[in-house]
Structure 1
Amino acid sequence: MVIPDKTIFIQGVNFLVTIFVLNVLLIKPIREIISKRKGLMDDQMEKIDAFNSNAGKKLEDYESQLAAARKEANEIRSSMKLDATATEQALMSEAGAEAAGTIQAARAEIKTQVKGAMEQLTKDVNKFAEQATGKILGQA
């Protein structure tokens, strides 16, 4: 059995002093370090959250700008296609008119040549007919 005497009080005081010294030298500094580390982690998490939300906003802005650029490109492509179609139609109608004019001029020239050839043939036929008549009648 333990017999209590005055050393037990000394040991109790010694224990309390040791706890107080350990608290001052070890436990408080460790708690402060843990508290600072927790504060740094909280700051880092806030920065990470802010960065993620900022990155999300930038991604949305980028996607909206990309969609707008694609829409504008499609509009430009459509307008250029319409312009090209109109230019093609104008060139085709101009070429058709030019071809029609060339054909008409060629037909007129052919008509003129046929008329000239017919006149020449008529003269030659009349001449040959007179010669043939003269030979038949014995005049030449």
Structure 2
Amino acid sequence: MVSLNATVFIQIINFLVLIWALNTVFYKPIRRILSQRNEKISGLEKGIDKFEHDAVEKDLALKSGIKQARENGLRNKEDLEAEAREEEKKIIEKINEKARADLEVIRAKITREAESARVTLLKEVDGFADDISRRILGRAV
């Protein structure tokens, strides 16, 4: 049977001192390091989550910005096209007005030249008539 004597108590005290020494020297630093590592990992995970959230927000903002820029560009393009059409109409109208004015000048010039030619021919008609009659008849009229 087991007898209780001083060696059992010494063994118990020795065991408790050993547990205290191991706990102090090995387990507490290891637990502290593990705790620090867990804190660091959880901090990094929070950072990752934050960066992922920021990346999603930035992606949405970028897509929104691109969409807005595309809409603005399309609106500007339509405005520029409308301005160009108006400018084209003005230019065509100016060209048409100039062409009408030039046409009127040319018509007036042709009318003046025709009138001048008519007056000249009327002055010479008697001479031509005499010349033709002389050639046809073979004598002076």
Between 20-29 and 6-15, report the one with greater CA deviation. 6-15
Structure 2 residues without counterparts, runs of 5 or longer:
none
Aligned to 2:21: 21
| RMSD of aligned residue pairs (Cα, Å) | 2.4
Q: Return the offset for 1:63.
A: 1.8
Amino acid at match of 2:104: Q
Structure 1 residues without counterparts, runs of 5 or longer:
none
Distance 2:140 2:62 in 1: 109
Distance 1:33 1:106 in 2: 104
Distance 2:107 2:79 in 1: 41
- Per-residue CA shift, 1:32-80, capped at 9, x if unaligned? 1101110111111111211221222122112212211211111011101
1:69 aligns with 2:72: no
Aligned to 1:32: 32
- Per-residue CA shift, 1:67-126, capped at 9, x if unaligned? 112111110111011000111011101101210221122122112211211221121121
Asked if 1 retains the 8 angstrom alpha-carbon contact of 2:130 and 2:140, the reply is: no
Please give the TM-score of this superposition, normalised by the length of structure 2. 0.81
Aligned to 2:126: 126
Please give the TM-score of this superposition, normalised by the length of structure 1. 0.82
Name segments (4+ residues, structure 1) moved above 6 Å. none
Identity %: 26
Amino acid at match of 1:99: A
Between 99-108 and 121-130, report the one with greater CA deviation. 121-130
The size of the alignment, in residue pairs, is 137
Distance 1:138 1:68 in 2: 97
